[in-house]
Amino acid sequence: MSQLQAKSATAATQVQRICCPNCGCSAAERYYLPEYRIIRTQCGTCDYLMVMGDKGKVIEAYAPGQDS
């Protein structure tokens, strides 16, 4: 594999299906976005959203029904 192919393969967005940390349903998705160096977790059932930077710092979060 050439260096160009290896770089584009590692920079591809990956999607993982997970249980939502807010409502517990299995319809949540976690997006790994290496080109932006963030991880976005979202649930379409309860409208949960968590965006984290590459060092684990929370950039944006919304969890309906959760007290802050």
Cβ(50)–Cβ(58) below 8 Å: yes
Average pLDDT (49-59) is 95
What is the reported pTM?
A: 0.73
pLDDT at 65: 77
7-42: per-residue pLDDT in tens? 444 568 899 999 999 999 888 999 999 999 999 999
- Whole-number Å distance between alpha carbons of 68 and 65: 10
pLDDT at 10: 54
pLDDT at 40: 97
- Whole-number Å distance between alpha carbons of 67 and 7: 42
pLDDT at 3: 41
Residue extents of the structural domains in the chain: 3-62
- Closest-CA residue to 32 (of 58, 54, 47): 54
- Whole-number Å distance between alpha carbons of 26 and 8: 30
